[in-house]
């Protein structure tokens, strides 16, 4: 790589070396070993984020969720360790934050979702102390378990915001682990657990919602729907919610807490929203089946950053990556892209230690289960899948383009 020339060129340029970006690079190289691929990725660290739920529950080592980017990038890829900033799709150019121009024939955008801690007044000042925790970052996830260990009874709040989030089930998975932890410690009877959810239901797919409602009963969880966290005062241990009534009117409710797990509001990254590749809501504007950009046929997108209406999960990427790769190669060979993604998303809903409901569904909310048994039932085998099998699969197969 030569950063001194004005314009660097790659046949395929990938924005983001996270789950989506590396999956696509590795799969492309398996199909076309000589392909010239560049990845713009500023971070020296690569994270396996799905395990942060178990880290928060004290059942997974945080250090096993991180590896060096250099060790997970396919060897034949050129790593451009910079921030992508400006897209000029008419000229097939991306400009990095420090002004480097990079041109491409084909562009793949997989820059993930942006966490907006600052959208909740007072959160940044108190996160990581006063019992205010969040599994939504490498730095903060271990404090969730510390808070649980320090908890001696009282009120625990679990929040879920009004924005799209990565892994929509994660805000409640940690709640069930907390409930189970306190049950084992014999503290459940002295604990008030509340799920303060900006949405309207516990889970969008009825089959799984039925099980989850029973799990809530087991841990004595009060479900407060249409409750959006707007501010937090860690010293006073108070959280303020904007509550939407059935008639659409809004009111403020202040709740005292001894511990609170916050799922932060999320959005498309700012550099994506301001780009000509974004839709009106800021997400990369792709066809939801082919993953090809709606205006620029040599641009594709996958993962959390696109406007495809599926659950934003690594599981979705596992189904999106082969579709994107097949379609990109079709376009490269002057053919029409024909592979189709059906909106598959999966949510391994941890419901306690050694208990998991494996939800799997498509764009239309149809249940599309992998195993020949009822996955709405809590199972130990599915917990093992999450704790042992999926992390292994991620590092050894998915990032290597083999799954
Ligand atoms: C607590 C938690 C629990 C989860 N649980 C599950 C689960 O059980 N199952 C599941 O399937 N999924 C789960 N997920 C979701 C899953 O981790 C994400 O959906 C997945 O990582 C998305 O992949 P991505 O490639 O779109 O984004 P990411 O993997 O986040 O990668 C985006 C990359 O873009 C890079 N980037 C950012 N800005 C720039 C820039 N300016 N220029 C270039 N690169 C940039 C970032 O550094 C990053 O490496 C969970 C996530 C969390 C946080």
pLDDT-based confidence at residue 51 (cuts at 50, 70, 90): very high
Q: Is the Cβ atom of 391 under 6 angstroms away from ligand 1?
A: no
Which atom of ligand 1 is the closest one to the Cα of 22?
25
CA of 110 from ligand 1 middle (Å) equals 9
Give the fold, CATH level 3, of 119-266. FAD/NAD(P)-binding domain (3.50.50)
Query: If we measure between CA atoms, which residue out of 80, 61, 62 comes closest to residue 70?
Result: 80
**pLDDT reading at 186 higher than 50:** yes
CA of 160 from ligand 1 middle (Å) equals 18
Site to probe by mutation for ligand 1, drawn from 16, 62, 346 as the one with most ligand atoms within 8 Å of Cβ, is 16
**What pLDDT is attached to residue 371?**
96
CA–CA dist 182, 235 (Å, integer)? 24
Strand partners, 356: 350, 379
* Per-residue CA distances from 194 to 171, 256, 286 (Å): 12, 11, 37
CB count within 10 Å of CB 250 equals 10
**What pLDDT is attached to residue 403?**
87
Q: Is the Cβ atom of 270 under 6 angstroms away from ligand 1?
A: no
Token code pair at residue 341: 């993604």
Q: Is the Cβ atom of 164 under 6 angstroms away from ligand 1?
A: no
- Nearest-CA residue for ligand 1 atom 45 is 16
**pLDDT reading at 8 higher than 80:** yes
Site to probe by mutation for ligand 1, drawn from 50, 265, 291 as the one with most ligand atoms within 8 Å of Cβ, is 50
**What pLDDT is attached to residue 1?**
44
Q: Is the Cβ atom of 42 under 6 angstroms away from ligand 1?
A: yes
CA–CA dist 144, 138 (Å, integer)? 11
Q: What is the pLDDT of residues 53-103, one digit of tens each?
A: 999 999 999 999 999 999 999 999 999 999 999 999 999 999 999 999 999
Q: Is the Cβ atom of 275 under 6 angstroms away from ligand 1?
A: no
Mean pLDDT of 327-342: 97
**Core vs surface per residue 46-81: b (16+ CB within 10 A) or e:** bbbbbbbbbbbbebbebeebeeebeebbbeebebbb
Q: Is the Cβ atom of 108 under 6 angstroms away from ligand 1?
A: no
Q: What is the pLDDT of residues 120-163, one digit of tens each?
A: 999 999 999 999 999 999 999 999 999 999 999 999 999 999 99
Q: What is the pLDDT of residues 24-34, one digit of tens each?
A: 999 999 999 99
CATH architecture of 7-113+268-342: 3-Layer(bba) Sandwich (3.50)
Query: If we measure between CA atoms, which residue out of 275, 316, 331 comes closest to residue 93?
Result: 275
Residues catalogued as catalytic: 167, 347
| Residues forming CATH 3.50.50.60 domain(s) in the chain | 7-113+268-342, 119-266
Q: What is the pLDDT of residues 248-276, one digit of tens each?
A: 999 999 999 999 999 999 999 999 999 99
Per the prediction, the chain carries an average pLDDT of 97
Query: If we measure between CA atoms, which residue out of 54, 310, 67, 303 comes closest to residue 170?
Result: 54
């Amino acid at each position: 790589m030569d950063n001194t020339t004005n314009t660097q060129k790659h046949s395929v340029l990938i924005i983001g070396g996270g789950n989506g970006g590396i999956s696509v690079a590795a799969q492309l190289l398996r199909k076309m070993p000589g392909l010239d691929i560049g990845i713009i990725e500023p971070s020296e660290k690569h994270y396996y984020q799905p395990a942060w739920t178990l880290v928060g529950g004290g059942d997974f080592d945080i250090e096993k969720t991180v590896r060096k980017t250099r060790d997970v990038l396919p060897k034949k890829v050129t790593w451009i360790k910079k921030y992508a900033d400006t897209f000029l799709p008419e000229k097939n150019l991306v400009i990095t934050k420090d002004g480097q121009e990079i041109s491409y024939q084909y562009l793949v955008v997989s820059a993930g979702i942006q966490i907006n801690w600052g959208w909740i007044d007072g959160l940044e000042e108190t996160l990581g102390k006063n019992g205010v925790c969040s599994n939504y970052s490498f730095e903060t996830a271990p404090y969730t378990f510390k808070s649980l260990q320090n908890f001696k009874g009282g009120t625990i709040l679990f929040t879920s915001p009004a924005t799209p989030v990565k892994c929509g089930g994660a805000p409640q998975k940690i709640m069930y682990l907390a409930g189970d932890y306190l049950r084992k410690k014999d503290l459940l009877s002295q604990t008030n657990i509340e799920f303060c959810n900006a949405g309207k239901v516990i889970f969008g797919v009825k089959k799984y919602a039925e099980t989850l409602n029973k799990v809530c009963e087991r841990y004595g969880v009060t479900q407060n729907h249409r409750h959006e966290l707007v501010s937090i005062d860690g010293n006073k241990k108070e959280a303020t919610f904007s509550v939407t009534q059935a008639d659409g009117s809004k009111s403020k409710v202040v709740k005292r807490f001894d511990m609170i797990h916050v799922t932060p509001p999320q959005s498309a990254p700012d550099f994506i929203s301001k780009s000509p590749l974004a839709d009106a809501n800021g997400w990369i504007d792709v066809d939801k089946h082919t993953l090809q950009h709606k205006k620029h046929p040599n641009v594709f997108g996958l993962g959390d950053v696109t406007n495809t209406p599926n659950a934003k999960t690594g599981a979705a990427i596992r189904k999106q990556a082969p579709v994107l790769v097949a379609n990109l190669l079709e376009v490269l060979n002057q053919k029409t892209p024909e592979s189709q993604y059906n909106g598959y998303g999966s949510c391994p809903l941890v419901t306690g230690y050694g208990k998991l409901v494996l939800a799997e569904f498509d764009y239309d909310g149809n249940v599309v289960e992998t195993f020949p048994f009822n996955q709405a039932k809590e199972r130990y085998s599915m917990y093992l899948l999450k704790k042992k099998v999926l992390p292994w699969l991620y590092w050894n197969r998915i990032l290597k383009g083999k799954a």
